[in-house]
Each structure stands twice: as C-alpha cells, then as structure tokens.
C-alpha cells in the first residue's frame, strides 16, 4: 500500500510537470508567432489582440498549474508531518505499555527476593529475574533503534564526570568477568580531564555493550578497557579481549541491524544483533567517526572509537534539577506520609503498595487523571506518583489541573513525581512544564522509590 501511494504521488507530479511543459511550449509558440508577424509587417490589429489574449490565458493556465503543484507539495509535507507524529506516538505508546508490564514483572521479583525461600525456589526466582532483566534489555534496544530510525532520538548533553563514569561501568562489569575467571584491566590516561560535556547515559550504554560482548565471547584470558587522551580535543575508548575473535568475512556486517557474527557463536550466546548497530549510531551522533574493529579468529578482538572532547571547568548545569531520582545510601522514611498513586494499571498500584507495605505511608489510589484531581480536591497529599499515559485525563493535564486547584484553594504545592516510560530530556521538560517536580523511570526499583519518599520535605518545614 505504501509503495502504491508513493507511485501515485509520483505520477501526479509527473503529470503536472508535463502539463507545465506543454503550456510553456504553447506560450513560446504564441510569442514566436506574434514576433514573426510583427517582423514581417503582416500583423493586423485583431491578430495582435487575439495573440495577446491567447498568451495571457496560457500564462494563467501555467500559473494555476504551478499553484496546484505547490499545493500538492504542501500537502505532502503535511502528510509527512502526520506520519512522523504517528510514528512518534506509536513509539511512545509502545514504550509505555511494554515498560508498564515489565514494571510489574521485575517489581514482583524484587518483592520475592525479600521472602524466606529455600534454595530450590531461590534458584527459580533468580532465573526468572535474570530473564526479566534480559527482556527489558531487549525492549530497550528495540525501542532505541526504532527512535533512531524514526529521527526521534536526541542526546542529553550535560557536564559529566568522565572518571566516575568509567568507574561505574567497570563496577558493573567486574562481577560478570570474575564469574568467568577473566581479568578486567582498566587503563586510564592521567591526562584525561575530570569533566567533559556529553551524554553520560549514552556513553555508558556504548561502553557497557562493548564490555558485555567482550566478556560474553571470551572464555579465558582477560579484558582490557582503555581510555586515553589523543591530542587536545579527542578521547579514545577501546575494549580488547582474548576471546573467540570474529572471522574477517563477518566483520563488515556486525554493525548492521539484526546482523551478528558467526551463526554458531550466536546460537551459543544469544542476542538480537541490535546492540552494536545502536552503539555505532550513538557514537556517530556523539560526534565520532564510528566504531572500528580489529579481530583475528581464535586470538581476540579490539573495538575502539574516538569522541571529540569538550572540557568543562565549571559545574554550571550540574546543579539544575534533572528530575531523575538517584539512589545514595540506605533510604529511611522518617515521617508519616500520605501518598496518592495515580495509574490506570491496577497491577502497578498493587506493586507500589507492596513496596511500601512496611513503611509509614498511607496510600490513596486513583485510576486516571480525572479521579486524581477529585482526590486532591478532597485532601492535600504529601506526594503524588503520576502516570503519564491514562484514559480520560492523562498525567500532564492532571498535574496542570492539580496545580491550578492548589492556587485556588491557597494550598502549598505537594510533591508530584511523574512515572515515565523513558528518561529522555523532552519527557523531563514536558513534565516540568506541566508542574511536576521530577520523574521516575519504569520499571521502578523499590530502593529508588524509598529514596524518593525519604527526600520529601518535612511536614514541619512547609
């Protein structure tokens, strides 16, 4: 159907262009004929008037055709804009629905981890949790790739601590390497700046993917992770391993979507073939030339990429509220709180109640934004967890209405935290514009939720 529509549009444009050419030829012939008669002195007055009228009418035809062509182009632009918005809405809805389901699956797994289980059932639970995390990783890859292909993917450039980022990535991968008996060697150039401008989350994503692949495809030996400064404006990242290597015939396709290395190794280790394709695009978006690979079958591989470096000397931008709740230390809720949970998914509301079962939190529920506004009219809450995509009234509109209601009633503002499907900057900006104080990304971890509640301003300070 899409191809048919494209062909029809092309035919319409070709037909109009052909008509324009014919009309132009008519004008040219008329003008030449008139000029010829003038030159030979045989042109009578009525011939002159007739020729002028014909030329004028022909010109009007051409103008109308051109205007129609412009109208078609504008219509095509409108259609393209509608298609882009439809694709964006589809990705947003898909992300929300998938993450909502994963929120419950992984959340219930977290709750079960606190139960007193025997060794056999603990083993089953761990397997289920691992599968859930793997599924979430696949969902993230598919959604990221779809956003990149749709032109909906943007970077969040802020000051970042480069050494801290490298340390975080290393701490995540070290247990996996140790479990396989591999040495993970980290080499940091002393000349590296402490802070640079960049998207820390996306740099983490690329480095974690490269390190994860290195560990996955290495059975003995070591992984070397190197970060060094090259010149005054470039940082070179590289990950080397002593793994199975990549046959030369397969090296050119591993960065293509849904392509992988040798089929036999893929069957043993799994994967979708999206990870490196996404990383390649992210590196390009961050200003790099792409990821390079040097590999020998049976010897090992080296993946590297260079990024332009913009050193940041001031902390400007780091103090701004990001809206993303980070965990630091063991959270303690030291005051009684009243929490309004707004979510159209009953399982999500059940999960949050289970997370807070042992904490001094009174929980009120609302199944959509309209009901949330009515609950806020009846009483003031210390904090509201607001899902964004709901029937009748979504989270953005509900937050706006709650803020308006607070002004009408002369109440102090309660703390509103949006529950989002992803932590992209545009989502955070929309949340803040509506009146939210921050956002939590699904799937929600219990510790993140407790940390959030422990930071609610003390009631006596309001």
Domain holding 403: CATH number?
Answer: 3.40.50.2300
List, for residues 65-81, the tens digit of each pLDDT value.
556 656 666 666 666 65
Domain boundary among 107, 131, 153: 153
Residues 97, 204: one domain?
no
Residues 273, 295: one domain?
yes
Q: Among 49-63, 147-161, 329-343, whose mean pLDDT is lowest?
A: 49-63
Residues 296, 221: one domain?
yes
Q: Among 1-5, 57-61, 96-100, 335-339, whose mean pLDDT is lowest?
A: 1-5
Give the chain's largest Cα–Cα span: 113
Read off the pTM.
0.59
Mean pLDDT of 318-326: 40
Give domain status of residue 319, yes or no: no
Give domain status of residue 314, yes or no: no
Give domain status of residue 252, yes or no: yes
Give domain status of residue 313, yes or no: no
pLDDT band at 396 (very low <50, low <70, confident <90, very high): very high
Place of tokens 């699904």: 442
Give domain status of residue 329, yes or no: no
Residues 119, 55: one domain?
yes
Residues 90, 207: one domain?
no
> Among the ranges 36-45, 169-178, 376-385, which has the highest mean pLDDT value?
376-385
Give domain status of residue 139, yes or no: yes
Q: What is the pLDDT of residue 4?
A: 39
Q: What is the pLDDT of residue 288?
A: 92
pLDDT band at 419 (very low <50, low <70, confident <90, very high): confident
Contact assessment for residue 332 and residue 315, using Cβ atoms and an 8 Å cutoff: no
Give domain status of residue 322, yes or no: no
Higher pLDDT, 27 or 149: 149
* Mean pLDDT computed over every residue of the chain: 77
pLDDT band at 258 (very low <50, low <70, confident <90, very high): low
What letter would DSSP give residue 311? Answer: B
Tell whether omega for the bond before 443 is within 30 degrees of 0, i.e. cis: yes
Query: CA 30, CA 19: separation in Å to the nearest integer?
Result: 17
Q: Is the pLDDT of residue 103 over 70?
A: yes
Domain boundary among 133, 153, 173: 153
Residues 97, 194: one domain?
no
Mean pLDDT of 121-141: 79
pLDDT band at 263 (very low <50, low <70, confident <90, very high): very low
Place of tokens 């947003």: 92
Residues 350, 418: one domain?
yes
Give domain status of residue 218, yes or no: yes
Domain boundary among 153, 172, 200: 153
Contact assessment for residue 419 and residue 387, using Cβ atoms and an 8 Å cutoff: yes
> Among the ranges 19-33, 272-286, 359-373, which has the highest mean pLDDT value?
359-373
pLDDT band at 17 (very low <50, low <70, confident <90, very high): very low
349, 324, 412, 419: which is closest to 376 by C-alpha?
412
381, 385, 389: which is closest to 418 by C-alpha?
385
442: left (phi over 0), alpha (psi -120 to 50) or beta: beta
The count of structural domains within the chain is: 3
Residues 357, 250: one domain?
no
Residues 281, 350: one domain?
no
**DSSP codes, 110-169:** HHHHTS---HHHHHHHHHHHHHHHHHHHHHHHHHHHHHHHTT------EEEEHHHHHHHH
Q: Is the pLDDT of residue 88 over 70?
A: no
Query: CA 324, CA 35: separation in Å to the nearest integer?
Result: 76
Residues 133, 169: one domain?
no
CATH number of the domain where residue 248 is located: 3.30.565.10
Domain that holds residue 399: 337-461
Residues 232, 178: one domain?
yes
Query: CA 143, CA 146: separation in Å to the nearest integer?
Result: 5
Q: Which two tokens stand for residue 136?
A: 């979430």
Residues 456, 364: one domain?
yes
């Amino acid at each position: 159907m899409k191809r048919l529509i494209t062909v029809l549009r092309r035919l319409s444009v070709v037909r109009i262009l052909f008509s324009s050419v014919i009309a132009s030829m008519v004008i040219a012939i008329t003008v030449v004929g008139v000029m010829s008669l003038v030159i030979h002195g045989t042109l009578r007055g009525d011939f002159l008037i007739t020729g002028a009228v014909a030329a004028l009418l022909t010109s009007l035809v051409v103008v109308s055709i051109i205007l129609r062509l412009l109208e078609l182009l504008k219509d095509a632009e409108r259609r393209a804009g509608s298609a882009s918005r439809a694709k964006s809405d589809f990705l947003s809805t898909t992300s929300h629905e998938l993450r909502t389901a994963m929120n419950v699956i992984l959340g219930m797994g977290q709750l079960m981890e606190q139960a007193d289980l025997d060794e056999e059932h603990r083993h089953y639970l761990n397997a289920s949790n691992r599968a859930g995390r793997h599924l979430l990783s696949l969902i993230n890859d598919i959604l990221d790739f779809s956003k990149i292909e749709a032109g909906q993917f943007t970077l969040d450039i802020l000051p970042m601590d480069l050494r801290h980022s490298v340390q975080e990535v290393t701490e995540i991968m070290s247990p996996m390497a140790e479990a396989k008996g591999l040495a993970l060697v980290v080499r940091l150039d002393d000349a590296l700046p402490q802070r640079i401008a960049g998207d820390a989350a996306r740099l983490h994503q690329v480095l974690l993917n490269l390190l994860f692949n290195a560990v996955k495809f290495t059975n003995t030996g070591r992984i070397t992770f190197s970060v060094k400064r090259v010149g005054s404006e470039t940082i070179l990242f590289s990950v080397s391993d002593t793994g199975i290597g990549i046959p030369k015939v397969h090296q050119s396709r591993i960065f293509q979507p849904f392509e992988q290395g040798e089929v036999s190794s893929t069957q043993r280790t799994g994967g979708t073939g999206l990870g490196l394709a996404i990383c390649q695009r992210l590196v390009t978006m961050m200003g790099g030339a792409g990821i390079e690979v040097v590999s020998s079958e049976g010897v090992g591989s080296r993946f590297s990429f260079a990024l332009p470096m913009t050193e940041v000397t001031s902390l400007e931008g780091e103090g701004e509220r990001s809206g993303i709740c980070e965990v630091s230390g063991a959270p303690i809720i030291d005051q009684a709180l009243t929490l309004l949970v707004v979510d159209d998914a009953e399982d999500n509301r059940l999960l949050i109640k289970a997370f807070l079962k042992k904490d001094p939190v009174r929980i009120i529920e609302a199944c959509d934004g309209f009901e949330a506004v009515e609950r806020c009219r009846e009483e003031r809450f210390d904090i509201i967890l607001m899902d964004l995509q709901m029937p009748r009234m979504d989270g953005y509109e509900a937050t706006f209405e709650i803020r308006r209601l607070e002004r009408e009633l002369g109440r102090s503002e309660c703390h509103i935290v949006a529950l989002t499907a992803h932590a992209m900057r545009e989502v955070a900006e929309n949340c803040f514009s509506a009146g939210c104080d921050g956002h939590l990304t699904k799937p929600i971890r219990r510790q993140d939720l407790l940390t959030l509640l422990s930071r609610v301003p003390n009631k006596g300070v309001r």
